Structure 1
Amino acid sequence: MKTLSLLTLCALSLPSQAALQLASPFTDHMVLQRDQSVPVWGWADAGATVEVAFSGQVKEAKADASGHWRIDLEPLKATFESTALSVKDSSGDQVTLNDVVVGEVWICSGQSNMQFGTNAVPELRRLLPKAKNLRSFHVSNTVAFAEQKTCEGTWKTVPPSSAVAFGFAYFLEQSAKMPVGIIQTSWGSSSIEAWMPRDMTATVPHFQTMMEEFDADTATREKIQKALDAKPWSGQQDVFLRRQPNILYNAMMKPLAPFACRGLVWYQGERNTQSMEGMVKEPWFSRNSGMLRYGEVLKKWIERYRQEWGNEEMHFLVVMLPGYGQTLPSSPEKGPENPAAHSWAWLRDSQLQALDLPHTSVANTVDLGDIKNVHPKDKLPVAQRLALLAERDTLGKEVIAEGPMKTKVEAKGDSLVVHFKNAEGLTTTDGKAPTGFWLADKNAKWVPATARIEGETAILTSPDLKKPLYTRYAFAGKPTVNLVNGAGLPAYPFRSDDFKP
């Protein structure tokens, strides 16, 4: 019998090689997802019998005509105790993966704010020495014209480099009391379309247009191929590659499916804020959904990923874009606190549409951010809020994980009454009256509201409107807000109107 080392396996060029090969996420030090069926897959000689042994389970399958095989392990219990996973085939090839544990596995993806490093956030950097039982798999940044079967990466017994991913894993492990594994696959400047499989052209019309244009653009394709042939890339090539549609998914996401995981943390959207309606001609990298289409696209994207993973309960944790003051040139109004401006408020509004689907959460960050910096450093509360949502929704913990959310708006004479859920102990962070509320009548002219708290409601009035009809809260690029519940979690932005921007 011959035994292949992991290095030898990684050196194999393609899964069509005859030697036994495991899919890329299977390496030494990996974390397997607990309490779910665990697919293990790879490639061998066509027709070969493959046996997988782990934690008392021994299962067999035959490689198909293309050499692909898959074996699903029965659900596993979480354990800190590491053990080996053994795979062998009928030709005598064998692979042994050592130091395998079982716990909670999450994919962390998106663009630059997901990549943003822990070392740049002092509050999180100080937690690194205390981090225990965290492991990470970092997918190397690259692109491909076609869906790939493998990617570059290996499991390591260290936390992920991303500040948000590390903080999320750190607080989740403290609550779960089990190993936490993070698969980090992210790249700055990428749109949601960069992470979409090509077959979504059938459900997303503008994406179909994007891909038709991409296929017809010989110069762009040649430029991409030239970069792929010339690693390491220049900085200009790096930026060019990551702003393309589909090809990040092909190289950096497809090879991960269907590796068992609890869910995916998605911190992305900045690239899609460069227009309202989307598909503008200039600059070329703004040719995407835009802010108003993003919500429907996000929902279809989530559903498509669940299909890819074969898991309708795969949880998606969306990070709301934080405060940022810039408005679009198209904006009829200017100013970081103006509710009528073409600002990031509209992308946040779209992100919240993810809640239309089951097994989704949105981490509210409207009180965070930087008026001028698209890469704010206040990542600690982002991580904490993500962990709270995961604790409640995936660990079954009885924790308060969300701030107040509007349930209805009621007109009473010269005032509007906003009713909230998750509002026990409704208060403000500074003891002053709530800020960030605006009122309008049928003419859509917005005026600042005077607000006061009554129980779990906010009462809104303005001397400039005798009969207000609509309200917006925190609906601006960088609103000044102070409304929280008793757990200190901020109220979610909302609008009660359906005015067009």
Structure 2
Amino acid sequence: MTKKPCIALLFIFLFFCVAITYSQELKLSNLFCDNTVLQRGTEVPVWGVAAPKEKIRVKYAGQSVTTRTGKDGKWMVALAPLQASKTPREMTITGNSEIVLSNVVVGEVWICSGQSNMQFSVDNVPETKALLASSENIRSFEVKRTVSFKEEDNVSGKWADVPPTSAVAFGFAYFLEKSADIPIGIIHASWGSSSLEAWMPRDMAEEFPYFKDIIDDFDADTETRNRINNALSSGEGWSNQEDIFMRRQPNILYNAMMKPLAPYACRGLVWYQGERNTRYYSGVPEVTEDNWFHRVIGMKEYGDVLQSWVKRYRKEWKNNKMHFSVVMLPGYGKGTNNNPDIDSKSPTAISWAWMRESQLKVLNLPYTSVVNTIDLGDETNVHPKDKLPIGIRLALLAEKHTLDKNIVAEGPILNQVKAQDNKLVVHFNNAQGLKTVDEKAPIGFWIADDSMQWHKAEAKIVGEEVVLSNDDIKNPVYVRYAFAGKPDVNLVNGADLPAYPFRTDNQIPID
């Protein structure tokens, strides 16, 4: 073959490549479709793809914003802050072609994510399901549960003019809508038994060596990657076994289900996750063929990783005020993988109490809140059905912290403990109307002296304080309250919100 035919073939090849590139049709991210809910009160990014250098115009609510696509065909514009509106309007996106979205409204948008207790269906909670008949102005985007080895640009799903399938997400949206009287949009992205690590971007390995080890091993595991690729490419869908296998891997849920959501304008993210990280008290365990899915960080370190995770997500959304509302793990009677059978009332057993303490560390960051669930849960069921109070409390926290309503949204929170004679006096914040739900003496308090031998405390409410004593302890020093797997509690404030668990010692437990 001579050089001239080769050159001709090359030009033909390049011509078709250029033609394909420049004929790329105008498309939006799947987050923008009919029934979309846009976030009020902040810039609203809108993005998609088209041919390189194509002029794009987005029109909505009297605004008209233009841009040109880059060499890669990607484009993004930002609408100026919008006022809440229940009135459906059209959004028009024009390039070499035109897209018209119908029934677009403006309100409060929240992402609801986590593992099985966030995924837990409305149909399984009769009290919450009963609210469906009176719900209005609630829309949802159900993110398809899938994985990817790379960070995706687009997400699988669409907006629908119906409430979310998650009981917690719907309960939250229902009571928030009743309070704010504006449209509520829920982006629901959860998957049962997923770990925090499943939702972590790869670059967090630069901060956490344990995560780097996990990612490096995952990248080198050809068998696992092939198994996942085969499941994803199966024309008949994947089996339940493959489903469990994929959702328990690191990073790849973030790539497919969370990364492509950014930077969609939203008020914040509700995070109900942690059960998967309670298998061990501390560190990352050695794993075998039988417990491969346990290779995640333990309860002790979870809180530090969670704080960095929140900051990393805010960076992805370019929003340092993005609110994160964490759902505390409720009462549960089992221990760790090494010691599952524990006394669920003991203040020293290695229980979910240590995970709750880690979750509360998120409050070290601004624009965060933690829903107290210490009075909820099930001794033997990791999937309790009492989800309605969680939705109510989530809505209260959102009203206070993101809608600036002057309301009581949290129960009593430890302020300080003072010694008085042979007693300890516990001072709380949010203690107006301090009482017990059964009008009996407060329970769930344990005290100790320097020997660290814990004794049940006799507790008495005096005004907005609780006075603790025990005849066997002459010089009490430390307090633990509701610090157990499934503690008995009855202390609330005037808003009937439960007191948050706490401990005043820094003793490290021995598993």
TM > 0.5 fold call:
yes
2:294 is matched with 286
Which of 26, 35, 39 is matched with 2:45 structurally?
Answer: 39
Query: Deviations along 1:128-180, whole A, 9 cap, x unmatched?
Result: 01000100000000000000011210100000010000000000000011000
Aligned pairs for 1:45-444 (under 5 A) are 45-89=51-95, 92-230=96-234, 231-282=236-287, 283-328=291-336, 330=338, 334-444=342-452
CA contact (8 A) 1:15 1:21 kept: no
Offset at residue 205 of structure 1 (A): 2.0
CA contact (8 A) 1:15 1:149 kept: no
CA contact (8 A) 1:333 1:341 kept: no
Inter-partner Cα distance in structure 1 for 2:73 and 2:176: 38
Inter-partner Cα distance in structure 2 for 1:469 and 1:74: 55
Query: Deviations along 1:401-434, whole A, 9 cap, x unmatched?
Result: 0000001111223111111000001000000010
Equivalent AA in structure 2 for residue 443 of structure 1: S
- Does the residue aligned with 1:127 lie in a helix, a strand or coil? helix
CA contact (8 A) 2:279 2:337 kept: no
Query: Deviations along 1:311-367, whole A, 9 cap, x unmatched?
Result: 111000100000000012545993001010110000000000010000000000010
CA contact (8 A) 1:406 1:420 kept: yes
Offset at residue 227 of structure 1 (A): 1.1
Offset at residue 17 of structure 1 (A): 7.4
Inter-partner Cα distance in structure 1 for 2:430 and 2:387: 23
2:8 is matched with none
Inter-partner Cα distance in structure 1 for 2:457 and 2:218: 48
CA contact (8 A) 1:332 1:340 kept: no
- Does the residue aligned with 2:280 lie in a helix, a strand or coil? coil
CA contact (8 A) 1:278 1:289 kept: yes
Inter-partner Cα distance in structure 2 for 1:235 and 1:267: 22
Based on CA coordinates, which of the two structures has the bigger radius of gyration?
A: 2
Query: Deviations along 1:363-412, whole A, 9 cap, x unmatched?
Result: 00010000000000000100000000000111111111000000111122
Inter-partner Cα distance in structure 1 for 2:455 and 2:292: 37
Change (3 A) 1:332 1:270: closer
1:9 is matched with none
CA contact (8 A) 2:21 2:52 kept: no
| Residue range with higher mean Cα deviation, 105-114 or 224-233 | 224-233
Query: Deviations along 1:418-456, whole A, 9 cap, x unmatched?
Result: 110000010000000100011112222211111111111
Query: Alignment length, in residue pairs?
Result: 486
- Does the residue aligned with 2:139 lie in a helix, a strand or coil? strand
CA contact (8 A) 2:334 2:340 kept: no
Offset at residue 293 of structure 1 (A): 0.5
CA contact (8 A) 1:20 1:45 kept: yes
Inter-partner Cα distance in structure 2 for 1:106 and 1:15: 35
CA contact (8 A) 2:194 2:276 kept: yes
Inter-partner Cα distance in structure 1 for 2:62 and 2:21: 28
Offset at residue 226 of structure 1 (A): 1.4
1:8 is matched with none
Inter-partner Cα distance in structure 2 for 1:225 and 1:329: 30
Equivalent AA in structure 2 for residue 396 of structure 1: D
2:9 is matched with none
- CA RMSD of superposed structures (Å): 1.4
Equivalent AA in structure 2 for residue 358 of structure 1: P
2:7 is matched with none
1:470 is matched with 478
- Does the residue aligned with 2:460 lie in a helix, a strand or coil? strand
Equivalent AA in structure 2 for residue 265 of structure 1: V
- What's the TM-score, normalizing by structure 1? 0.95
CA contact (8 A) 1:15 1:43 kept: no
List gaps (5 residues or longer) in structure 2: 1-19
Inter-partner Cα distance in structure 1 for 2:388 and 2:209: 38
CA contact (8 A) 2:22 2:52 kept: no
Inter-partner Cα distance in structure 2 for 1:142 and 1:17: 29
CA contact (8 A) 2:434 2:492 kept: yes
Equivalent AA in structure 2 for residue 494 of structure 1: F
List gaps (5 residues or longer) in structure 1: 1-13
Query: Deviations along 1:44-74, whole A, 9 cap, x unmatched?
Result: 1111111101011001111111111110000
Query: Deviations along 1:225-276, whole A, 9 cap, x unmatched?
Result: 1111125111100000000000000000011100000000000000000001
Q: Which runs of 4+ in 1 moved over 4 A?
A: 14-17, 329-333
| Residue range with higher mean Cα deviation, 213-222 or 156-165 | 213-222
Change (3 A) 1:17 1:395: farther
Equivalent AA in structure 1 for residue 84 of structure 2: A
